[in-house]
Amino acid sequence: MKKFICLLLGLVLLSNVVCAKTVYSYDKSGNRTGVYKRSSNGNITRYDNRGNRTNVYKRSSNGNVVKYDNKGNKLGTYKTNSSGKTTYYDKHGRKVKSYK
State the distance between the two ends of the chain, measured CA to CA, in whole angstroms: 14
The pLDDT of residue 76: 94
E strands of the chain, at which residues? 22-26, 32-38, 44-48, 53-59, 65-69, 74-80, 86-90, 95-99
CA distance 30 to 46: 18
CB 15 within 8 Å of CB 89: no
Hey, is 7 helix, strand or coil? helix
Q: What is the mean pLDDT of each run of 10 residues along the chain (100 residues)?
A: 46 44 84 86 87 90 87 91 85 88
CA distance 39 to 84: 24
Residue pLDDT, tens place only, 60-78: 878 788 999 999 999 999 8
The pLDDT of residue 16: 38
CA distance 7 to 63: 16
The pLDDT of residue 74: 95
